[in-house]
A = this chain, B = another copy of it.
Amino acid sequence: MVELAQELGVSTATVSRALNGSPSVRPELAQRIRDHAEARGYVANRLARALSANVSRAFVGCVIPYVDTPAYSAVVAECARLLSADGTQMILTITENDPERELQQLKELVASRVAGMIIAPSTHILDASKQLLSALPVVEFHRACGIDAPGVFSADEHAMAEAVLHLAALGHTRIGYLGTTEKLSNGPVRLRGLRRGVELAGLDLDGLPMRLLEPTKSNGQRGAAELLDLDRPPTALIVGGGALSIGAAQEVRERRIQVPSELSLVVYGDPSWFALSDPPLSRITVSYEDLARRAARLLISRLEGRQSTRAGDGAGADDVQLVPAELHIGGSTAPLAARQG
């Protein structure tokens, strides 16, 4: 940059102003400087810029447990898109649901002076992590960890209740549930929906076979196996969780259980193949695209808010958005009678 200045016979300050589009430099000169910079193939050093202008939007952090599932990759994609248009770069870190790793990564993001973060917290987030998060503009999604921040979540309760009622209406009374552990924020939500459905259907919750596990594919397989191995296995199974659903579907398939004649199945999540599978699975879906868009926008507005008002922690959890989950009836749920037929 100092070279540019010399070659043009101006000061570095002027170059800086021209490149940043400051109005206080003669338009003609500014253009000349920009052209010369372009011609020379000059690329400003973001690091120096961020260091100098002590507050910057050079980077934001994106912290997720996994990237290979649509629930998270949609948010990654959307953030990358919007932030890129904003001139901000996204540092992606993957926790694999390990709280220690999460804390470590949060520290490093703070060290990089990220302007903000978007995070799907790990299952057992550490207090130290929460503390780091509370000092920055943060948006959380999918999972809430009890910090004072805006977020975007799926509203599963209603669809869960509907799923129970749907099965009950088909004559099922032994309905199994495979869901995420209550330690995750969405575990209790889905369970609440299930309870409500059970209640409305006049069934007995205590009698229902149930497994609550950490949301992984292998747990889905394990949980489904356990439920199916019961003395009196359920005639219908509701899975409340994306990864769990994939595992459960796999287990059912491997056991060559006929769906829906031997077992009615309701899965959770949006992989396109749920609809493509044969029969198309009855499923509870959330528009991850919608959720992602909201989350990304929220983050950007938070960044802007912070910049102007410096409101800091005040601008807290007032903006929590919910994306409703919906029950889609496919061909994997059928009247109980069909089982004996």
Contact = CB atoms under 8 A, between A and B. Distances in A.
Interface residues on A, range: 35 or more
Contacts of A249: 276
B273 A276 contact: yes
A39 interface: no
Contacts of A81: 94, 96
A59 B108 CA distance: 11
Contact of A67 (B46, B80, B272): B80
Given A45-B51, A47-B113, A68 B58 contact: no
A112 interface: yes
B48 A77 contact: no
Interface in A97-135: 101, 104-105, 107-113
Contacts of A113: 45-47
B89 A90 contact: no
A108 B76 contact: no
A318 B111 CA distance: 36
A277 interface: yes
Contact of A51 (B48, B59, B109, B271): B48
Given A273-B271, A276-B277, A43 B89 contact: no
Interface of A: 43-48, 50-51, 58-59, 62, 66-68, 70, 73-74, 76-77, 80-81, 84, 87, 89-94, 96, 101, 104-105, 107-113, 246, 249-250, 253, 271-273, 276-278
**The 6 residue pairs across chains A and B that have the minimum distance between CB atoms:** A273-B273, A278-B278, A92-B92, A80-B94, A68-B73, A46-B111
Given A47-B112, A51-B51, 14 more contacts: A46-B108, A46-B112, A47-B47, A48-B51, A67-B67, A67-B73, A68-B70, A68-B73, A68-B74, A84-B94, A84-B105, A89-B108, A91-B92, A250-B272
